[in-house]
Amino acid sequence: MIDMHPPPAYIQVAQKQTPGVGQPLQLVPSQPQPPAAPPAAAQSQPLPPSDSQPEQIEVTPLDVGRYLPPTATYATIIVTVVPPTGTVEIYTPGSEGAPVIFRGPKTAGEIRLNGPTAYVRLKNGATSYEVEYLSWREP
């Protein structure tokens, strides 16, 4: 039996941090700048997470061209997520704003294809995933 989930009912907003937004432009520094720390010391201490730093999400390519014909337009897949509380988002180039979401531990879904590569984002604590290809559709 395949677990089916309704589509998500949320919208994700991504913002890029730009330095100095809302601050007046300063052509001459008002105070002398302290000397910069050596690069070795700067790398040894990671910056503490804060609300001003956006979360970095790693995107990895998924080579669907190895398993599906090049004329396939849709693929039905099952994604197994580790740990079961994690989430995997899969999207193709051009549909970054509307990824297909696979929740753990195992979820089936259909992804639209427009080339041999799809992209995967691990979210909500997911550390790994496995993809099983069930079927595909051609025009």
Distance CA 103, CA 133 (A): 17
Q: DSSP assignment of 36-97, as one string?
A: PPPHHHHHHSPPPP-TTSPPP--EEEEEGGGTS-TT--EEEEEEEEESTT-EEEEE-TT-TT
Q: What mean pLDDT is reported for the chain?
A: 77
How far is it, in rounded angstroms, from Cα 83 to Cα 122?
11
Q: pLDDT tens digits for 47-102?
A: 555 555 555 678 999 999 999 999 999 999 999 999 999 999 999 998 889 999 99
Torsion (CA) 7, 67, 105, 101 in degrees, nearest 10 = -20
pLDDT at residue 22, as a whole number: 52
Least confident of 4-8, 15-19, 111-115: 15-19
For the ranges 29-38, 72-81, 127-136, which has the lowest average pLDDT? 29-38
CA angle centred on 114, ends 111 and 14, rounded to 5°: 70
pTM here is 0.60
Where do the structural domains in the chain lie, given as residue ranges? Answer: 59-137
Cβ neighbours of residue 137 under 8 Å, at least 6 residues apart? 72, 73, 74, 75
Question: Per-residue confidence at 139, pLDDT binned at 50, 70, 90?
Answer: confident
Contact 90, 69 (CB under 8 A): no
Q: Any idea what the Cα angle at residue 118 is, between residues 104 and 53, rounded to 5°?
A: 70
Q: What is the number of other CB atoms lying within 10 angstroms of the CB of residue 87?
A: 19
Assigned token pair, 69: 């014909």
